[in-house]
């Protein structure tokens, strides 16, 4: 990965920018996991690093780094496929490079401020300089404005290249969806001192990102990757893509009501949220079927032509994309559906159940396919026909997936115990909250989460090691 640009196999600046974004993404992913490990230890030993590196800080950096590395990998993937899909060398990519450096400098400063300026009064100045206090998107206002500027440059690159180049169905969906994705960020930027209003708009960013625009983004990535990696037919994947867009937006937009059950919004959101969010797993099933069906079909056609080898041109990328099909369906579809009806959510709201769903969905729906795209980028960068999974690729995907699944199960058990004791038996009082956290089921579950977190981290080390070496290894194998 380090020498990927020097290799000179990338044919234009767009792909180079893609690799630059991927590198920062993977570093931030590592930072995310380290922060998660600190926070997980603090669940077991609350005094750990107390007043040096508090839980609130570890947790904040953990989930903000998560969102930022995913956005980096998404921008990287867009640049990677932009010039290829449009058949155009790219418009204004020099400006795009400048944007990359500005954004990366800003992210570095913001993270350092999070880590070094941890506590203090919330004032107008802290809003501008330290953070806005909105979970997942805590960047202070100066950085918010910088982000908007850089994203405008990015969008200009994408839109202008699209207008000048070939307009495939995949790129059309991409261009329209990115406009919505970027525009939604602004719903989380203005200030109100009314907590209900604040939450109302905050969910426009968080929910309409992960359950609408990010999912559509994944649809475009999967469509593109299936064409490139297994030679799926463009007509077929684009047909699927349009159906997915319809179903994802059809259910996901009003599905936002499942966050409006208890924050002070009108009660009609109960029915709207219940109905539409209950439909959200449907497109995820469709996406799952689509990936596996196309893979089977192309492999079959491949064998029928008498070609014995596998149809897959990039083993690790395909492994991560198939994991995405399962993970998206399980983490978002199943674990999301569990608690999406108000009758159930009244018991599960804000328990470790939510954290279980949060982990499996972000990992299953997004981390997986973005890592897959990084492997595809490496294949381009090193100019190899076929990239086979190495031992390190296999350990990377196995240990991270097993680790996250393990954490999810542990947290689900912790959440179940909270529902029974804190909510069911003791009636959700303040005291009940603490009683539930001191029972053995809860503590053991938190212990398993920490252990599985270490397993995840080991997988991450294998993953990075593989990303750093697989390109050269594939070149050697081909020579």
In the complex, which residues of this chain contact ligand HEM (CB under 6 A)? Answer: 33, 36-37, 39-40, 43, 59, 62-63, 66, 135, 210-211, 258-259, 277, 280-281, 332-333, 336-337, 339-340, 345, 349-350, 354-355, 357-359, 361-363, 365, 367, 404, 453, 456-457
Apex 81 CA angle, 78 and 83, nearest 5? 110
Residue 281 CB partners (closer than 8 Å, separation 6+): 329, 332, 333, 334, 336, 337
Is residue 357 at the binding interface for Fe ion, with CB under 5 A as the rule?
no
Is residue 207 at the binding interface for Fe ion, with CB under 5 A as the rule?
yes
Minimum distance of ligand HEM from residue 45's CB (angstroms): 12
The one of ligand HEM, Fe ion, none whose footprint includes residue 345, by CB under 5 to 8 A per kind, is ligand HEM
Q: Is residue 197 a contact partner of residue 187, using CB atoms and an 8 Å limit?
A: no
User: Would you call 6 exposed, middle or buried from its count of C-beta atoms within 10 A (0-12, 13-18, 19+)?
Assistant: exposed
Select 255 or 396, whichever has its Cβ closest to Fe ion. 255
The one of Fe ion, ligand HEM, none whose footprint includes residue 363, by CB under 5 to 8 A per kind, is ligand HEM
Select 143 or 274, whichever has its Cβ closest to ligand HEM. 274
Minimum distance of ligand HEM from residue 129's CB (angstroms): 24
Phi and psi torsions of 436, nearest 5°: -60, -30
Minimum distance of Fe ion from residue 336's CB (angstroms): 7
The one of ligand HEM, Fe ion, none whose footprint includes residue 157, by CB under 5 to 8 A per kind, is none
Select 87 or 133, whichever has its Cβ closest to ligand HEM. 133
The one of ligand HEM, Fe ion, none whose footprint includes residue 172, by CB under 5 to 8 A per kind, is none
Residue 353 CB partners (closer than 8 Å, separation 6+): 338, 339, 411, 412, 415, 416, 418, 419
Rounded to an integer, what is the distance from CA 216 to the centroid of its chain? Answer: 12
Minimum distance of ligand HEM from residue 239's CB (angstroms): 23
* CA–CA gap between residue 274 and residue 342 (Å, rounded): 7
* CA–CA gap between residue 201 and residue 209 (Å, rounded): 12
Select 143 or 330, whichever has its Cβ closest to Fe ion. 330
Judged by CB under 5 A, which stretch of 40-48, 110-118, 201-209, 435-443 contacts Fe ion? 201-209
- For 198, the token pair is 């604040």
The one of Fe ion, ligand HEM, none whose footprint includes residue 62, by CB under 5 to 8 A per kind, is ligand HEM
Minimum distance of Fe ion from residue 179's CB (angstroms): 21
The one of ligand HEM, Fe ion, none whose footprint includes residue 131, by CB under 5 to 8 A per kind, is none
Minimum distance of ligand HEM from residue 73's CB (angstroms): 11
Could you tell me the sign of the dihedral formed by the alpha carbons of 149, 151, 156, 157, in that order?
Answer: positive
Select 14 or 219, whichever has its Cβ closest to ligand HEM. 219
Minimum distance of ligand HEM from residue 305's CB (angstroms): 37
The one of Fe ion, ligand HEM, none whose footprint includes residue 339, by CB under 5 to 8 A per kind, is ligand HEM
The one of ligand HEM, Fe ion, none whose footprint includes residue 365, by CB under 5 to 8 A per kind, is ligand HEM
Select 61 or 174, whichever has its Cβ closest to ligand HEM. 61
Binding site for Fe ion (CB under 5 A): 207, 211
């Amino acid at each position: 990965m380090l020498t990927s640009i020097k290799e000179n196999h990338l044919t234009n600046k767009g792909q180079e920018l893609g690799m630059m974004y991927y590198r920062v993404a993977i570093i931030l992913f590592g930072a995310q996991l380290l922060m998660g490990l600190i926070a997980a230890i603090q669940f077991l030993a609350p005094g750990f690093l107390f007043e040096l590196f508090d839980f609130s800080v570890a947790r904040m950096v953990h989930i903000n780094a998560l969102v930022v590395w995913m956005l980096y990998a998404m921008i990287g993937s867009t640049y990677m496929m932009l010039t290829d899909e449009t058949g155009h060398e790219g418009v204004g990519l020099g400006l795009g490079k400048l944007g990359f450096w500005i954004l990366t400098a800003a992210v570095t400063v913001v993270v350092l401020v999070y880590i070094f300026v941890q506590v203090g009064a919330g004032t107008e100045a802290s809003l501008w300089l330290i953070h806005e206090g909105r979970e997942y998107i805590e960047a202070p206002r100066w950085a918010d404005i910088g982000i908007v500027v850089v994203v405008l440059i990015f969008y200009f690159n994408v839109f202008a290249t699209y207008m000048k180049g070939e307009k495939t169905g995949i790129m059309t969906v991409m261009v329209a969806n990115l406009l919505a994705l970027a525009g939604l960020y602004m719903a989380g930027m203005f200030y109100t001192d009314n907590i209900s209003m604040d939450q109302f708009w905050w969910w426009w960013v968080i929910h309409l990102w992960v359950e609408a625009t990010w999912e559509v983004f994944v649809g475009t990535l999967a469509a593109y990757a299936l064409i490139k990696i297994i030679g799926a037919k463009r007509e077929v994947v684009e047909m699927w893509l349009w159906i997915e867009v319809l179903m994802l937006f059809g259910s996901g937009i009003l599905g936002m009501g499942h966050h409006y059950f208890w924050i002070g919004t009108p009660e009609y959101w109960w029915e709207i949220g219940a109905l539409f969010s209950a439909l959200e797993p449907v497109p995820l099933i469709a996406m799952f079927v689509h990936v596996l069906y196309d893979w089977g079909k192309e492999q079959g056609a491949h064998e029928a032509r008498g070609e014995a080898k596998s149809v897959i041109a990039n083993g690790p990328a395909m492994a991560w994309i198939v994991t995405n099909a399962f993970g998206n369906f399980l983490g978002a579809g199943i674990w999301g559906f569990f608690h999406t009806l108000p009758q159930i959510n009244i018991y599960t709201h804000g328990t470790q159940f939510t954290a279980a769903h949060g982990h499996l969905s972000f990992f299953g729906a997004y981390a997986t396919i973005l890592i897959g795209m990084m492997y595809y980028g490496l294949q381009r960068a090193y100019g190899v026909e076929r990239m086979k999974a190495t031992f390190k690729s296999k350990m990377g995907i196995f240990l991270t997936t097993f680790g996250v699944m393990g954490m999810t199960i542990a947290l689900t058990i912790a959440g179940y115990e909270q529902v029974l004791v804190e909510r069911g038996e003791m009636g959700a009082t303040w005291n009940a909250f603490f009683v539930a956290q001191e029972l053995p089921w809860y503590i053991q579950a938190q212990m398993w989460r920490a252990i599985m977190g270490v397993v995840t981290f080991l997988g991450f080390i294998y993953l990075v090691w593989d990303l750093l070496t697989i390109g050269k290894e594939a070149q050697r194998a081909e020579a």
